[in-house]
Amino acid sequence: MKHFPIFLAVAGRRIVLSGGGDAAMAKLRLLMKTEAHLTVIAAEVADDIRKWEAAGKLRVIPRAMAPGDALCAALFYAANEDNAEDARVSAIAHAEGALVNIVDNLADSQFITPAIVDRDPVTVAIGTEGAAPVLARAIKADLEERLPTSLGVLARIGKTFRHAVDVLPMGRKRRDFWSSFYFGAGPKAFAQHGATGVIPALETLLDERITARQTTGHVDLVGAGPGDPELLTLKARKALDKADVVIHDRLVTGDILELARREAIIIDAGKQGFGPAMQQSDIDALIVQHALDGHHVVRLKAGDPTVFGRLDEELAALDAHGIPYTIVPGITAASAAVAGIGQSLTQRGRNSSVRLITGHDTKGYADHDWTALARKGEVAAIYMGKKSARFIQGRLLMHGADPATPVTIVENVSRADQQIIATTLAELEPTLTQAKLQGPALTFYGLAPRAAQITAQSLKEFA
């Protein structure tokens, strides 16, 4: 992010613009929506600018800009449509302390003006850092259609009512009140009675919420997928948007946590194999307590919560306290990783089933049916297999597995720094030792990356 989005207070402050042509008028149409004092400086200005001056919307200084013209200005726009003149006036404005924007010159501007959807006081700013103005306009057009024109009226009236709503506790109850107003009672009252009907609707709604019985919260047990936020399900994103509390595991990425509400309490309940970890009983207690406090809780787990996620223990704790919950499945690390190597988990003539296994459990290294796994054509996705690689390798070879069986390790599945390592069962442990993997990794036994498999087959046929 090269430009940090902020909303600058300009009411009663100066905004100065140098230029009087089409570029100047385009900026002025937007700036006249503010409560700033506008000054236009140009030897010649368009007729529309003269009309705006006559209407008292701005002041015109009919000459070229000179030192002192930008003093006390919050913002300055250079819109002369002449590179040399824009550079000259920008230097003056810089020296006099104004933030400077040069129209159509992103590199030399201190700030940019985004595309804006105006439902005053609700304002949506859309920026692409100058990379794709067409995309910004398309998003603006879409939002213009989605946001009703009454939204601004409802927001202005709602703002006057905010102190009255302070009687409701922070969090879910207060948020539910405003959600009911903006998306239910408010638009309905406005449609039926106009602006005069909105305050009575607010008062009625507040009375209902004050007298309503305190309810238990709700828990969403959400699969965060393998790491790429674009692989989150729509239902998972909606859950994060509603959450008062997010309790996440160690493998949930920062990019996904960024999608949670800014006001949400974020709790790291991470566990680490063979390392420090929060006890499962403590996690259960956290989830239960926040739900009993009336919060909307999201228990966020990497991948899918039903795969090696201790889901049953958390559900038992919720059932014991009568807390309602929803399970939101996610894309498993195995599904994302196998897509990354261009393979399928099952294949006719090779394997009709696939095993999802773990390299270790709460008691240490996990034991499995090694004889069955060692058979030719078997495929397994091994979770938490980095530190147990030597144990897994030894058990499989001991039970007759072919040392040449392909093995693929995928580190940081689906993320920008994903790494794919192809090896064989015989070389598994030394390969992992040499690779020195730092991120979470998933191991595929019996699968090679598609490109490597095709190359191996070609060499075999050639031989």
**What is the total residue count of the chain?**
463
Q: Are 374 and 401 in contact (CB under 8 A)?
A: yes
**Residue 352 CB contacts under 8 Å (≥ 6 apart), including other chains:** 346
> What is the phi/psi pair of residue 415, to 5°?
-90, 170
Eight-state DSSP code of residue 294: T
Active centre residues (catalytic) = 249, 271
Residue 348 region by backbone torsions, left for phi larger than 0, else alpha for psi between -120 and 50, else beta: beta
Q: Which two tokens stand for residue 120?
A: 């005053």
Phi-psi region of 45 (alpha: psi -120 to 50; beta: other; left: phi over 0): beta
Asked whether 267 and 297 are in contact (CB, 8 A), the reply is: no
3-state helix, strand, coil in the chain (%, to 5): 40, 20, 40
- CA distance linking residue 246 with residue 265, whole number of Å: 6
Coil, helix or strand for 85?
A: helix
Phi first, then psi, for residue 72 (nearest 5°) are 65, 10
What would the two tokens of residue 115 be? Answer: 């595309």
Scan for tokens 């067409």, then name that residue.
134
Helix (H) / strand (E) element for 420: namely strand 419-424
Residue of 226, 225, 218, 224 whose CA lies nearest to 243: 218
Structure letter (DSSP) for residue 28: H
Greatest CA separation for the chain: 93
Residue 147 token pair: 């946001």
